[in-house]
Amino acid sequence: MDEREETRKIQFTGKSSYIVSLPKQWIMELGLKQGDQIRMIRKGSSTLELYPPKFETRSQKKEDALIEIGIDEKPSTVVRKLISLYFLGYKTINVKPKSGRLDPNQRTAVKEAVKKMLMGSEIISDSTGGITIQVLVNLLELSVDGAFKRMLHLTKSMSNDALLALKENNLELGQEVINTDDEVDRFGFYIIRQLKIAIQNEHMLKEMGFRNARNCLGYRLVVKNIERTADHATFIARDLLEFKKSVKKEIFNKIQEMNEFCLSALDDACLALFKEDYNHAEQIIEKTAEITKYEKRIRDASKSLKDDEEIYRIRRITESVRRVSEYASDIAEIVLNMNIDKAIKKKALG
């Protein structure tokens, strides 16, 4: 049982009223007194949330947000404000001009952001006088774990497809890898939004399966590492689109072996995250140290190269692949930090 959890008896009073007493400590900490009103909200069929008077408007404030845009504001600035409000958990976001009308470039940037970045959002009103965005996604329809697994799957596919495109000199597949990065970011933004909501709401924290707010921070850092992995797959695809040719077959095979090793380490790190497995995370950190042998194989295979351009490309591609092992190690480190207390307790009991 959680140390903050208490059990209280339901009592019957009068002819039709049921009452439950409130913890004295809670009343004193909030400075409440007899006669103060407590707001109750029913969540689902089995949960009631209690809010003291000073928090009465908190949920209302989270319902609607307004961004007033100056005519000279860059579209990128407008998008950053929009993403920030999405992260904060607002259900409706209104984008309006401070005066006059929205610039066409501003309108286009907002609509593209909603389409490509803000999962569960749609535009319900669009004109030169303003845009209204509504976040429709239900917290329970797509869990944080579910979104994260989808994000991880897309990222691994990007890494494999980027190398396949390089092998086949397939420019269309390379462009598809670049386009998929937007989808990975959408899942990342969605997860961050959910984590912020969980931190602010204890009920949602438990509902999403987190033991404490510290674990939310851990997930946030993990998401960042997955986003970076996707970025490096994009770098490889952009390299192909820039040079429009593959690399020497013998060297490519070594790079592919390295990529398979890195993605395997990433998979294992995320599995340790889902299982909350401290020992497995330690093993992954040791495993990622083996990346040096793959780097040596690529260096050895590259010694015969005379073309400076190809040498440069191989170094850049190898660096992008190598980074994935670093991100796997970072995720494993986060898993250690999230589960150290469990590991210590288990060792003490054993």
Domain borders along the chain are 11-56, 60-135, 144-349
Task: Tell me the torsion sign for CA atoms 159, 164, 169, 174.
Answer: negative
Sorted by sequence, the CB contacts under 8 Å of residue 59 that are 6+ apart come out as 41, 51
Q: What is the pLDDT of residue 76?
A: 95
Is-contact 132 142, C-beta < 8 A?
no
Model confidence at 68: pLDDT above 90: yes
CA nearest to 335, candidates 261, 265, 287, 284: 284
Torsion angle in degrees (nearest 10) through CA of 317, 321, 326, 328: 160
Of residues 91 and 266, more confidence is placed in 266
Using DSSP, state whether 249 is helix, strand or coil: helix
pLDDT at 56 over 60: no
Which is nearest to 104 in space by CA: 76, 75, 132?
A: 75
Q: Which residue has the higher pLDDT, 55 or 187?
A: 187
264 confidence band (pLDDT: 50, 70, 90): very high
DSSP string, 103-153: -HHHHHHHHHHHHHT-TTEEEEEEETTEEEEEE---TTTS-HHHHHHHHHH
Quick one: pLDDT at residue 234?
A: 98
- How many CB atoms within 10 Å of residue 164? 14
Which range is most confident: 203-207, 213-217, 339-343?
A: 213-217
Choose among 323, 343, 214, 204: nearest CA to 272.
343
Average pLDDT value for residue range 306-321 = 94
Task: Say yes or no: do domains 60-135 and 144-349 share a fold.
Answer: no
pLDDT at 2 over 60: no
Q: Is the pLDDT of residue 51 over 90?
A: no
Q: Which two tokens stand for residue 46?
A: 């089995």
The pLDDT of residue 57 is: 42
27: confidence class by pLDDT, cuts 50, 70, 90 = confident
Say how far residue 180 (Cα) sits from the centre of its chain: 16
139-149 residue pLDDT tens: 556 788 889 99
Asked if residue 137 has pLDDT above 80, the reply is no
Query: Considering only the top CATH level, what class is 144-349?
Result: mainly alpha
Q: Say whether pLDDT at 151 is over 90.
A: yes
Tens of pLDDT, residue by residue over 324-337, are: 999 999 999 999 99
CATH for the 60-135 domain, from 3.30.110, 2.60.40, 3.30.70, 1.10.3470 = 3.30.110
Integer-rounded Cα Rg, in Å, for the chain is 26
Mean pLDDT of 294-306: 94
